[in-house]
Amino acid sequence: MARSSRTHTTAPARASVSLVVRRAVSVATRLFLAVGAGGRCEFDGCNRYLFEHFLTCDHGNFSQVAHVVAFSDRGPRGGGRRPRAVDAIDNLMLLCPDCHKLIDGSADRFTVATLRSYKARHEERIAHVTSLGPDLKTTVVQVKATIGGQAVAIPANQVAEAVAPRYPTDARGCVIDLTGIKADNQDSFVQLANHEIANKIRNLYESGMDVESTRHISLLALAPIPVLVFLGTQLSSKVPVDLYQRHRDTEDWVWKADGAPVTYRFRKWQAGSDKLSVALVLSLSGTIHPEDLLGDVGARFTVYEITLATGAPNPNFLRRRADLEAFKKMYQDCLRRIRRAHPGIKSLSLFPAVPAPIAVLCGRELLPKVDPELRVFDSDKSQGGFVLKVVVNADEGK
């Protein structure tokens, strides 16, 4: 009877304890959580790899499983509405010990909503990155020059963010650094810069180089407009090139998804007396007025313009990749219309006020032996106006 009595009196105690003792998260749930997190800490900005010691590089499980809503009402973030299954994967985060201690010690700061947003962003990023296949590799090409007395460096993380969903085989890739060029004036700089670009791009396409395997280029460039137009002519039409724009407001290179579509307008400024004297003005990032060209074109020139269909030209208009594609189509159509209206034209004078990617397109979209040579002018304060800086697409056989 005594033995039976002991069994009778201790059973309720066991039942009571089972309600408060922390249940173990199943092995399967831990596995799915680790895979979904990519084996990395899910605290926003940490991203530490948790299956290798950060110092010794020994392999091991250095992760901790944290509850978003605490297991018990008395735990961190334990009050309020509770999930039906507190140990379900939706209520768990993979964390390093430091971040686990931080969120549990500051539950009022790291709320349920905050941690859920951390978890969602991290796991969405891991799912995206791990879905990338070999066909999404890209060769990054950076071109940098001193603009306004400063050279803008592009951090590796900004490059990776800009080119996603592609991923660079090398975060820096091919860097064409023009900042060290010593020149007496702007004309000399353009000549030396173009020579450097021609050599670098020629090497880029050689057998055995990265482009041979990726068959794709991501170009991030900041340089004077005439240099960028020349750069465009050096890029092979046989390898796709994605162009990127540095955005002043966010100070990054990621094409934006918001904003109204940009539309362009093509018009004739004046009809010239000489059918073969033609100029094209691009008033996009700034306005070029007819009087600005008085010293370069006269009554014999027919002058065309591409500008924004709505709103005034401004440096920040180019935000979306689709807006760059829209300009590309407009520019191609413009060149066709000029060829039809001016049969036999050998030379086209270009006066651009454009963002960097559009300058590159102006060179790359020229068809050798079809389009006229492009005489690229640039505003040069030292010489009091627009000055011819470079001639591209010239027919060497003429």
Per-residue pLDDT tens for 372-398? 999 999 988 777 788 999 999 987 654
- The encoded tokens of residue 144 equal 């940098």
Is 19 domain-assigned?
no
- Reported pTM: 0.69
- Residue 177 and residue 101 share a domain: no
- 29 plus 88 within the same structural domain: yes
Nearest to 33 by CA among 107, 90, 109: 90
- Cα–Cα separations (whole angstroms), residue 128 to 1, 63, 135: 66, 22, 15
Contact call for residues 71 and 87 (beta carbons, < 8 A): yes
Residues 6+ apart with CB under 8 A from 293: 279, 281, 303, 351, 386
Please report whether residue 385 resides in a domain.
yes
Q: Could you tell me the residue range of the domain that residue 164 belongs to? A: 134-244
- For residue 246 the two structure tokens come to 């540095």
Phi, psi of 130 (to 5 degrees): -75, -10
Within-domain flag for 70: yes
Same domain for 206 and 295: no
Asked whether the beta carbons of 143 and 113 are under 8 A apart, the reply is: no
In a shared domain, residues 206 and 236: yes
pLDDT tens string 38-70: 999 999 999 999 999 988 889 999 999 999 998
Q: Are 315 and 355 contacting, i.e. CB atoms less than 8 angstroms apart?
A: yes
Give the number of domains in the chain: 3
Query: What is the Cβ-side half-sphere exposure of residue 94, based on CA atoms within 13 angstroms?
Result: 27
Instruction: Select from 130, 147, 162 the last residue of a domain.
Output: 130
| 344 and 309 belong to one structural domain | yes
Indicate whether 157 and 58 sit together in one domain: no
Instruction: Answer yes or no: is 319 within a domain.
Output: yes
| Residue at which a domain ends, from 99, 130, 161 | 130
Pairing state between β 302-308 and 264-270: antiparallel
The region that residue 91 occupies, defined by phi over 0 for left and psi between -120 and 50 for alpha, beta otherwise, is: alpha
| Cα distances (angstroms) measured from residue 63 to each of 30, 49, 107, 150, 383 | 10, 9, 20, 44, 65
Whether residue 222 lies inside any domain: the answer is yes
pLDDT one-digit tens code per residue, 125-170: 999 888 876 688 999 999 999 877 777 778 888 999 999 989 898 8
